[in-house]
Structure 1
Amino acid sequence: MTDTIEREDRADQLVETARKLFVAGVMSHSGHANLSVRLDDERFLLSPGWVRDLKSEQLATLDLRGRVLDGHLQAAGAEIIAMHGIVYRTRPQVGAVIHTHSPAATAFAVAHRPLPCRTEPMLRFGQAEEVPVVPWGPRGSDVSVRGVAEVLEQRPTTAAVLLANHGLLVFGADPQAAAHLVMAIEESAEAEIAARALGGAVDFPEGALEAVRASMARAASS
């Protein structure tokens, strides 16, 4: 019973997270995305590839090696299982993974350009460094998954990667944290592109991250 209640709670979190991403306007025109949440050390819940009006009964339960334990995924959804699984295996502290085709962030992915951290929301929501680019590989292929694993190993503190010619992959402690970072990255990508018309974006001053963390700590203790 406890396991069932916990699964329902995690499923509700994913459904609500998908809704918030659409309300925030950070999704692509097609609405394509996939979201997952860790259930325990061996299992996670995964959405299908189209999450507009997502329902909890559409979620499948998988183990970290990609076997479907409960539910059903269509072929398009099955292609992305390994992409989520490699993040959970590589980062035991990660509780949720979100993949989107957020337009501005995807522009950086298509250009094979890392997204610099030049906006305060990125600092506040866990990406105090540029978002690196994973070399292109067919979606869900060994080439693509190995690319994600290699970048995660090279960049142990990044909480997001850009998938070349594809989109954005973000991970966090829970669905809400991951969603906040998706929003922060998409806003930052939009601002970065817009700033180029004004002469280009400017880096934070030295010590900005520490200053933001101190401000957040003061607010939390007041």
Structure 2
Amino acid sequence: MTGTPATTPQAHQIAETAAQLFAAGVMSHSGHANISARLDGERFAMTPGFIRELRPEQVAVVHQDGRVLEGKLRSSSTEIIAMHGIVYRKRAEVGAVIHTHSPASTAFAVANRPLPCRTEPMLRFGQAEEVPVVAWGPRGSDVSVRSIAQILDDRPTTQAVLLANHGLMVFGPDPASAAALLYAIEESAEAEIAARAIGGAVDFPPGALAAVRASMARSS
């Protein structure tokens, strides 16, 4: 065992990230979101069904098969385990998953439209391609989980997906990194919507990703 939820580094990282999401202004009116962090090959720490004013000791430990091993989840949150678990099963490098109803990103999800990669922060924080849309299914259902799995197979380098008529999921090596990408995606969605009022957004020129990576390498 890694320890009780309150003593795991992941629980503290999750609580810190939850507070940062609100501070960054990327949350919906309801404040709904869920955050998880991998503990080992089969277990992950997960928020209990809310993240507002979350404390580390409130973070639960769950098994990928859906069992709650430590702590408690709200009954409506047990169906979320499968949505996070499929990402961990498909992506061995992923250490954290965040799901929100961030308003601008969710607008693209509701429209069932992929979010293009047209802002430099998306390039810098790991999403150098459009954010694809996962076909709709009831939250946490087999249909939804299979659809997420299919997108992850079809798009092996995407670090985020839009859940049709639902919201956004991002993933990264740790909660802070996943949150950084979430901020970039939400800002990009806001900019994409705003740009339509002045003629529409424009794609990057050829070679933009390589140029950004070279610039980042020089400054590291």
- Tell me the TM-score range normalised by the shorter chain: over 0.9
Residue equivalent to 1:102: 102
Residue equivalent to 2:171: 171
Normalized against structure 2, the TM-score is what? 0.97
Superposition deviation, residue 122 in structure 1: 0.3
Residue equivalent to 2:212: 212
Residue equivalent to 2:145: 145
Residue equivalent to 2:60: 60
CA distance in 1, matches of 2:42, 2:83: 15
Superposition deviation, residue 50 in structure 1: 1.7
Superposition deviation, residue 52 in structure 1: 0.7
Structure 1 residues without counterparts, runs of 5 or longer: none
Residue equivalent to 2:160: 160
Residue equivalent to 2:197: 197
SS of the equivalent of 1:128 reads coil
CA distance in 2, matches of 1:147, 1:4: 33
| Structure 1 stretches of at least 4 aligned residues deviating more than 4 Å after TM superposition | none
| 1:47-80 residue CA offsets vs partner (Å, 9 max, x unmatched) | 0232110111221111122211111111111121
Residue equivalent to 1:48: 48
The reply on whether 1:38 has 2:41 as its aligned counterpart is no
Residue equivalent to 1:70: 70
**Amino acid in structure 2 at the alignment position of 1:200:** G
RMSD (Å), alpha carbons: 1.3
SS of the equivalent of 2:17 reads helix
Residue equivalent to 1:93: 93
Residue equivalent to 1:82: 82
Alignment of 1:6-45 (within 5 A): 7-45=7-45
Check whether the contact 2:2–2:39 (CA below 8 A) recurs between aligned residues: no
SS of the equivalent of 1:171 reads strand
CA distance in 1, matches of 2:114, 2:59: 32
Superposition deviation, residue 8 in structure 1: 2.2
CA distance in 2, matches of 1:173, 1:19: 19
CA distance in 2, matches of 1:197, 1:49: 37
CA distance in 2, matches of 1:127, 1:57: 32
**Amino acid in structure 2 at the alignment position of 1:32:** H
More off after superposition, 149-158 vs 43-52: 43-52
**Amino acid in structure 2 at the alignment position of 1:100:** T
More off after superposition, 63-72 vs 207-216: 63-72
SS of the equivalent of 1:149 reads helix
CA distance in 2, matches of 1:149, 1:5: 30
SS of the equivalent of 1:4 reads coil
How many residues get paired?
219
Identity %: 71
Superposition deviation, residue 219 in structure 1: 0.6
CA distance in 2, matches of 1:17, 1:141: 27
Superposition deviation, residue 5 in structure 1: 8.4
SS of the equivalent of 2:2 reads helix
Check whether the contact 2:4–2:70 (CA below 8 A) recurs between aligned residues: no
Structure 2 residues without counterparts, runs of 5 or longer: none
SS of the equivalent of 1:3 reads coil
